[in-house]
Amino acid sequence: MKLMEGKKGIIFGVSNHRGIAYAIAQQLHEQGAEIAFTYAGEVMESRVRPLAEAMNAKIIMSCDVTKEDEIAAVFKECEKVYGKLDFVVHAVAFAGKEDLQGRFIDTSRAGWDLALGVSAYSLVSIARYAEPVMNEGGSIFALTYLGSQYVVANYNVMGVAKATLESSMRYLAADLGKKGIRVNCISAGAVKTLAAKGISGFDKMLKAAVAKSPLHRNVSLEDVGKAGLYLASDLSTGTTGQILYVDCGCHAVYASIEEMEIIANAV
């Protein structure tokens, strides 16, 4: 029997076949899970629908996570088709390009509201509507990044959004734990995705991660996908309120010898 046989859930945020959300979906699907997919408007439908159909998805719906009625509609459809859900994956984040470069101090109020609304508050909204349709022992998890705790060049307001996401995760874990629902985050290291290309200097981040990492390599999409499988499955029944780092150990190292040599030579 496959690990996720009989399990049903939904993934918010799959946008292409070269992203973390898709890597998680692949692992869940291969282990027998039934997955519902959402996409952000008509523009994204042509990208997401073929991926979802390839995994025999019964639900493929448009959902703007800043609109409560659209989130409610998604969970209403899930309840109609599946009855109860076992997992919910939050892989949604967005910030204006102008707020991912230059100085953080120049972030506009509109840019702040947009980034935190899409990237952090949406987890609260999704969890609220997921709660009544989730089985006891269910799992909700979101994607974060180390820029929530440390200054990362050109991450700016998204770092603040991820910090808010992580804090929200802990409060949600406390709220939903009474019903046996787990809430966690995966903090993935620098990994080649289409979304990452929007971060200025990302190639340098990849090289720095190799120098810093105890494993001396970049994390892969498969690495992160497997971590998602762990959190969605019954293998993680005792894990909640946690940030699972999947970054080849980068978060644990201030500076490796290799990295210090690179920095020293650059000065």
H/E run at residue 37: strand 34-39
Span 83-90, average pLDDT: 98
pLDDT of residue 212: 84
Tell me the average pLDDT across 135-159. 95
**How far is Cα 205 from Cα 208, in angstroms, rounded to an integer?**
5
Residue 176 tokens, joined: 């939903």
Per-residue model confidence (pLDDT) at position 242: 98
Confidence (pTM): 0.93
Could you give all domains of the chain from N- to C-terminal order, each with its CATH number? 8-196+219-248 (3.40.50.720)
Q: Which of 157, 155, 132 is nearest to 202 (CA)?
A: 155
**How many angstroms separate the CA atoms of 153 and 204, rounded?**
10
- Residue 260: the pLDDT is 62
pLDDT at 70 over 90: yes
> Which CA distances in Å does 118 have to 37, 66, 70, 95, 202?
17, 6, 14, 8, 22
CA–CA distance, 4 with 22 (Å, rounded to integer)? 16
Encode pLDDT of 177-228 as tens digits.
999 999 999 999 988 766 655 556 667 778 878 888 899 899 999 999 999 9
Which pLDDT score, from 0 to 100, does residue 266 have?
A: 60
Structure tokens at 119: 């990237």
pLDDT over 90 (residue 35): yes
Q: Pull the structure tokens for residue 163.
A: 């910090």
Please determine, for residue 154, whether its predicted confidence score (pLDDT) is greater than 60. yes
Instruction: Say how far apart CA 45 and CA 60 lie, in whole Å.
Output: 9
How far is Cα 189 from Cα 126, in angstroms, rounded to an integer?
A: 25
End-to-end CA distance of the chain: 57
Per residue in 91-130, pLDDT tens? 999 999 999 989 999 999 999 999 999 999 999 999 999 9
Residue recorded with tokens 């200054």: 151
pLDDT band at 89 (very low <50, low <70, confident <90, very high): very high
pLDDT per residue over 10-23, tens digit each? Answer: 999 999 999 999 99
In angstroms, the CA 14 to CA 43 distance is: 13
Instruction: Compute CA distances 267 → 251, 260, 261, 264, whole Å.
Output: 24, 11, 10, 5
Is the predicted pLDDT of residue 267 greater than 60, yes or no?
Answer: no
Q: Which amino acid is residue 235, in one-letter code? A: L
Instruction: Determine contact, residues 81/8, Cβ cutoff 8 Å.
Output: no
Note whether 120 and 90 are within 8 A (CB). Answer: no
- Average pLDDT of the residues of the chain: 92
Residues with catalytic annotation?
145, 155
How long a stretch of residues is the chain?
Answer: 267
- The mean pLDDT value for 32-37 works out to 98
